[in-house]
Amino acid sequence: MSKEIKVPAVGESITEVTIGQWFKKDGDTVQMDEVLCELESDKATFELPAEAAGTLRIKAEEGDTLEIGAVICVIEESDSGVKAGDSKSEKKDGEPEKKEEKSSKSSSSKTGEVKEMVVPTVGESITEVTLANWIKSDGDYVKLDEIIAEVDSDKATFELPAEASGILRHVAAEGDTLEIGGLICKIEVTEGEPSSSSSDSKEEESKSEASSAEGKENYATGHASPAASKILAEKGIKAEEVKGSGKDGRITKEDAQSAQKSAPAEKKPEAKKEEAPREAIKVAGSREERREKMSSLRKTVSKRLVAVKNETAMLTTFNEVNMKPIMDLRSKFKEQFKEKHGVGLGFMSFFTKAVCVALQEWPAVNAKIDGNEIVYNDYCDISIAVSAPKGLVVPVIRNAEGMTFDQIEKEVVRLATKARDNKLSIEEMTGGTFTITNGGVFGSMMSTPIINAPQSAILGMHNIVERPMAVNGEVKILPMMYVALSYDHRIIDGRESVSFLVRVKQLLEDPTRLLFGV
């Protein structure tokens, strides 16, 4: 019986591969899972394992370009894994029997089952993810539920656990964007972990093969991978000018990136020649550039911010707040507050409480447009903008209108910590009826924040600066903060936006009003 080996799917965007090098010759006897050849795509190099034991019949040569699914070779299977009468299976000083024994011993734990892992559903609004990082390498043994990779969505980073125990085979490469349900890897299921002696013997065999092949030139020698070829072409460098550091002298992507174009030989000046023009002044320094692929989070934020600017009638109104009453109150009670509640008393709890009171008095600021209808919310889910390592995220404090000062402060600390550790869940970033952003922590004096759609308004806090202010006919130095309210003029009128911000100013400058609701 013959087994056709076809070019496997190695990524959603990859439609063809090139045969880089055959490790086995036509007519050789091969064992199950033994590496037959290398396949090169425009993103990475992959090894092609044997899917059965038997005699190899090669159908495509080194350098051929094949489409996904094309037949690359055929294996003529036999019951014993070695074709009867094959001259290569003849006994010679007992060596064939030992190799067969070793092979059967190392592969005896495999069940033959292959578990295909696909991108899981991570949220209703998420349709694709980016493979951020492989934690486990191709060919590694992984255990059930062991974390093998990290994937990025437009909202958060998720860990991908192994769905079976066995040998990991990568299908997607780091940086690939996959749709939900797309194939990300395969696991060759095994019964138990492979023994160390087996892996050691494989390592010794690979080393001996590498040493025996050293010094011999073949297809790989001086050959650039597709990615390396592209980089060399952009630099205008020929492959012959680059020394490859890969297997058998192959030119890798890293070789191409570090390659420099050789300077042309200097020409001797002619005997009778006019004075050469002065050269431009050359200053020592780096002229290098680097490119980084935009993360899914950054791309999604970019699209949404542009959409908000184009689809809303956004205006911004400003006011200023005397922060001295709040600062005096914090100085008086901060030690007692922290001792009782175990959390510091910050400015965010005062702003959140003031915003909740004002939102209930001016419900249009807490509403949103849905088609031809306006949806008014009788609750206040306050979104807090947090700068995380991978970009801006906006977790939500639910029903903030019913929280006490200490509950708000604890929730702010919890969400900010999870955001900086990239541990926020989809639920914690979904929803929100109004947003507060604090650019003052970075030193911003004034800004016009962009609305967090589909919300209709956002409040911007800024840094506190001591300024001379006229108070009852006298000049006093007071700690002042500019506050800005950006709002959608389609749903919020000027009277409502200005009145809302004035009410927030009134509550912050006299925080005792928050205690009595006046």
DSSP structure string for 149-184: EEEE-SS-EEEEE-SSSEEEEE-SPTT-EEETT-EE
Q: Tell me if 242 sits within 8 A of 221, measured CB to CB.
A: no
Residue 443 scores a pLDDT above 80? yes
pLDDT at 337 over 60: yes
> How far is Cα 411 from Cα 399, in angstroms, rounded to an integer?
11
Q: What is the pLDDT of residue 105?
A: 43
Cα dist from 210 to 32, 249, 399, whole Å: 21, 12, 65
User: Does residue 148 contact residue 162 with C-beta atoms inside 8 Å?
Assistant: yes
Structural domains in the chain, CATH included, are 1-90 (2.40.50.100), 110-193 (2.40.50.100), 226-255 (no CATH), 296-516 (3.30.559.10)
User: Average pLDDT, whole number, for the chain?
Assistant: 81
What pLDDT was estimated at residue 1? Answer: 76
* Closest by Cα among 381, 377, 380 to 428: 381
24-38, 279-293, 390-404: least confident range: 279-293
- Least confident stretch, 195-204, 431-440, 509-518: 195-204
- pLDDT band for 218, please (50, 70, 90 cuts): low
Q: How confident is the model at residue 492 (pLDDT cuts 50, 70, 90)?
A: very high
d(CA 412, CA 235): 50
Average pLDDT over residues 149-168: 84
Give which of 26, 35, 34, 33 is closest to 55, Cα–Cα. 26
Residue 86 has pLDDT above 60, yes or no: no
Catalytic residue IDs = 489, 493
Write down the H helix ranges in 342-376: 347-361
Better pLDDT: 253 or 489: 489
Position 304 pLDDT exceeds 90: no
What is the arithmetic mean of pLDDT over 374-379?
A: 94
pTM higher than 0.75: no
- How would you classify the pairing of strands 65-67 and 166-170? unpaired
Closest CA to 384 of 328, 438, 309: 438
* Tens-place pLDDT, residues 15-34: 788 888 888 888 898 888 88
